Amino acid sequence: MKIITKITTQKHSTERFNIYLDDQYAFSVDQDVFIKYELKKGKQLNEEDIIEIQYGDDVKKAFNKALEFLSYRMRSIKEVSDHLKLKEFTEPIIAEVIYRLKDYRYVDDLEFAKAYVRSQWKTNGKGPNVMKQELKAKGIDQIILETALLEYDESFQFEEALKHTHKAVNKNKNLSSILLKQKVEQYLMRKGFSSNIISNVISEVKFEKEEAEEWEALVKQADKAKSRYKNNDQYTYKMKMKQFLYRKGFSMELIERYLEMDEL
């Protein structure tokens, strides 16, 4: 048995106490742990008591770190666990902290997932497929993430995808009708929308340009390519221009018309 012979508060934290056993510094504890174990001068502690007290203090330290981490925004249980691992807390301590956080409702994966879906939908206009990947990476299981995504039904997904489409169309007016449509499809897929939503949106948007608009787009693309191929001989120049503009989605009829005018 060892006896507490001295107790002092720490210089930089009045909520932590230094405990001396048999006139030698042994360990420090948080104020809550100090009160819980009724530590006082003259109290006797055996090895089991000391281990239990130090374990309780480590749990308190980890709990405080978790609260600090949660103070900035909501977190998933996995995010909190990973954060505590980085702080080098052991698995039993992390498990105890997570149990307490759940008991106080400081962490709740369903509420976190619902809030995440709302945020990514309203702020970034992401599709559900991307959200699923991101939530899985945050440790949210399949049932919970499927439940959270119920709030983001197909009608809302369609609206968001349509917004993205209109922005993309306005931003890429210099592309051919074919390439513009392909670009929009690829963009919506990267944003996480399903092929069904993308198909419905594409069918609602007019990608086919009037001939004058298509011609204007071709001229702008051709003007960019001319500087790249102008030093070739005439035959090579025309072939490379044809290949370039055809890859850009323009019809051969318009390409031939441009090249004929280019010779004049």
> In this predicted structure, what is the pLDDT of residue 208?
66
* Whether residues 224 and 244 fall in one domain: yes
Q: Is residue 194 part of a domain?
A: yes
pLDDT at 103 over 90: yes
Structure-model confidence comparison of residues 122 and 251, the more confident one = 122
Q: Which residue has the tokens 């990267």?
A: 190
Reported as a pLDDT band with limits 50, 70 and 90, residue 264 is very low
Q: Is residue 89 part of a domain?
A: no
Q: Is residue 188 part of a domain?
A: yes
> In this predicted structure, what is the pLDDT of residue 84?
97
Q: Is residue 19 part of a domain?
A: no
* Whether residues 138 and 165 fall in one domain: no
41-56 exposure pattern, b = at least 16 Cβ within 10 A, e = fewer: eeeebeeeeeeebbeb
Q: Is residue 231 part of a domain?
A: yes
pLDDT at 123 over 70: yes
Structural domain span for residue 161: 154-204
Decide which of 204, 220, 236 is a domain's last residue: 204
Calculate mean pLDDT across residues 133-160. 95
> In this predicted structure, what is the pLDDT of residue 94?
97
Q: Is residue 50 part of a domain?
A: no
What is the percent of the chain with per-residue pLDDT over 70, rounded to a whole number?
Answer: 97
Q: Is residue 2 part of a domain?
A: no
* Whether residues 136 and 164 fall in one domain: no
What is the percent of the chain with per-residue pLDDT over 90, rounded to a whole number?
Answer: 65
Question: With the CA atoms of 138, 144, 146 and 152 taken in that order, what torsion angle do they form, in degrees rounded to the nearest 10?
Answer: -80
How far apart (Å, rounded) are the C-alpha atoms in residues 104 and 84? Answer: 18
Q: Are 207 and 180 in contact (CB under 8 A)?
A: yes
Closest CA to 57 of 84, 36, 87: 36
253 in the Ramachandran plot: left (φ > 0), alpha (ψ -120 to 50) or beta?
alpha
| Helix pair angle (77-86, 47-70), 10° resolution | 120
pLDDT at 82 over 70: yes
* Whether residues 194 and 220 fall in one domain: no
> In this predicted structure, what is the pLDDT of residue 131?
96
The two structure tokens encoding residue 55? 């374990």
Dihedrals φ, ψ of 208, to 5°? -65, 125
Q: Is residue 244 part of a domain?
A: yes
* Whether residues 183 and 218 fall in one domain: no
Mean pLDDT of the chain: 89
CATH number of the domain where residue 166 is located = 1.10.10.10
pTM tops 0.85, yes or no: no
Reported as a pLDDT band with limits 50, 70 and 90, residue 222 is confident
* Whether residues 198 and 217 fall in one domain: no
* Whether residues 176 and 200 fall in one domain: yes
Count how many domains the chain has.
3
Task: Give CA 201 to chain center in angstroms.
Answer: 25
